[in-house]
Amino acid sequence: KPGEQKHSKEPSSLQCMHLAVVACGDRLEETLIMLKSALLFSNRRLCFHIFAEDSLKPEFEKKLKEWPSSYTKRFEYNIYPITFSVGNAQEWKKLFKPCAAQRLFLPVILKDVDSLLYVDTDVLFLRPIDDIWHILTEFNSTQLAAMAPEHEIPKIGWYSRFARHPYYGTTGVNSGVMLMNLTRIRNTQFKNSMIPSGLTWEEMLYPLYQKYKNYITWGDQDLLNIIFYFNPECLYVFPCQWNYRPDHCMYGSNCKGAEEEGVSILHGNRGVYHDDKQPTFKALYEVIRDFPFEDNLFQSLYYPLQSKFLDTVHTLCGRIPQVFLKQIEKTMKKVYENRVIVYLGANHRY
């Protein structure tokens, strides 16, 4: 049909990789550092979908325009108001963290977007988004979203010990990094605990919240766990290095994928970028925040990071620096090689 977005199994290199984030309250800087980390390492063009309170919109526009043109030409962005299409908007807005429930409504709002990566504001990319975007091609015919487990070890996991509602698998899933095929979500009838027949995503959200609101602790993440408990065939589970949190190292190292490959996406939940409880997480945040866009990555990002890590070796997470450094070092080598090859290739033509 004219104007209808085509859905292909392999996202074309000509298409944007769509990245969505929801920012309310004091999350402006965190969101900008997340977007910066995405931009530093990505190969293909990015489309940012920023959902923000009205007061933050001018600040986002001002800051994004200050980035150098060599980077701003590699992305486009839209800033949207916070809106909830079903139920009580104030109730949704206050669920768990301010505005976090907005992510539940992305399939309804972004009707022209086929696939999307949603991340929390406290996420940092340590490798190209292209790599997690490629996971869309690994979905089978029923899968429409991908998330990482909430925990690796059921006996110390939150859901397996305390949840008073259904949740996915043995440990539940964490919604801070969520890859979605929005077309499939919009076209699926979801099994549920309310009526015998299926419901669309939009039809299901508010009744589901009403049914479980007295039993949920982690807001919209709990609702997603309930949805995928009833529809497990719809979820692709990716490994913990794609959503690496303090829980993966503060009780001893329990993310094998990160030990083997390094952290791919860092998720600094519990406010660890802004206090001194997990200095390894804070070090990564500060180094990416302070990196001047057009400087040498090794000189102005990797070496300062190594130096900061030396001060964290006395901490549980700091004892395993290779977990944090392995992937980002590999990524920077690739970025550097690509730029050198492109530069030499361009010069070779003359």
Domains and CATH numbers, the chain: 17-238 (3.90.550.10), 241-345 (no CATH)
Whether residue 350 has pLDDT greater than 80: no
Supply the pLDDT for residue 1.
Answer: 36
Question: Higher-confidence residue: 8 or 281?
Answer: 281
Up-side HSE of residue 217: CA atoms within 13 Å toward CB? 9
Q: How far apart are CA 5 and CA 113, in angstroms?
A: 8
Q: Range with the lowest mean pLDDT among 9-23, 42-56, 284-298?
A: 9-23
Bridge partners, residue 20, by sequence: 49, 118
Average pLDDT over residues 297-320: 94
In the predicted model, what is the mean pLDDT of the chain? 90
Judged against a pLDDT cut of 80, whether residue 118 lies above it is answered with: yes
Average pLDDT of 113-127?
A: 97
* pLDDT average, residue stretch 65-71: 96
Share of the chain above pLDDT 90, in %: 74
Summarize the confidence of residues 236-251 as an average pLDDT. 95
pLDDT at 347: 53
The rounded distance, in Å, linking the Cα atoms of 61 and 79 is: 9
Task: Considering only residues 339 and 321, tell me which one the structure prediction assigns the higher pLDDT.
Answer: 321
Q: Which of 135, 126, 124 is nearest to 333 (CA)?
A: 126
Q: Is the pLDDT of residue 218 over 90?
A: no
User: How confident is the model at residue 63, as a pLDDT?
Assistant: 97
Q: If you average pLDDT over residues 318-341, what whole number do you get?
A: 89
Residues 6+ apart with CB under 8 A from 41: 125, 126, 127, 128, 129, 331, 332, 335
Phi, psi of 176 (to 5 degrees): -70, -25
Residues 146-164, mean pLDDT to the nearest whole number: 85
Burial 169-196 (b: 16+ CB within 10 A, else e): bebbbbbbbbbbbbbbbbebebbbeeee
Residue 192's pLDDT is what? 93
3-state SS of the chain is CCCCCCCCCCCCCCCCEEEEEEECCCCHHHHHHHHHHHHHHCCCCEEEEEEECHHHHHHHHHHHHHCCHHHHCCEEEEEECCCCCCCCHHHHHCCCCCCHHHHHHHHHHCCCCCEEEEECCCEEECCCHHHHHHHHHHCCCCCCEEEEECCCCHHHCHHHHHCCCCCCCCCCEEEEEEEEEHHHHHHCCECCCCCCCCECHHHHHHHHHHHHCCCCCCCHHHHHHHHHHHCHHHEEECCHHHCECHHHCECECCCHHHHHHCCCEEECCCCCCCCCCCHHHHHHHHHHHHCCCCCCHHHHHHHHHHHHHHCCCCCCCCCCHHHHHHHHHHHHHHHHHHHHHHHHHHHHCC
Mean pLDDT of 91-107: 85
pLDDT of residue 340: 72
Which pLDDT score is estimated for 162? 75
Distance CA 59, CA 303 (A): 31
State pTM to two decimals.
Answer: 0.92
Q: What is the mean pLDDT of residues 190-213?
A: 92
- More confidently predicted of 205 and 90: 205
The Cα 148–Cα 213 span in angstroms is 24
Reported as a pLDDT band with limits 50, 70 and 90, residue 5 is very low
Q: What is the pLDDT of residue 346?
A: 53
More confident residue, 141 or 217: 141
Q: Looking at per-residue confidence, does 283 or 13 come out higher? A: 283
Confidence tier at 140 by pLDDT (50, 70, 90): very high
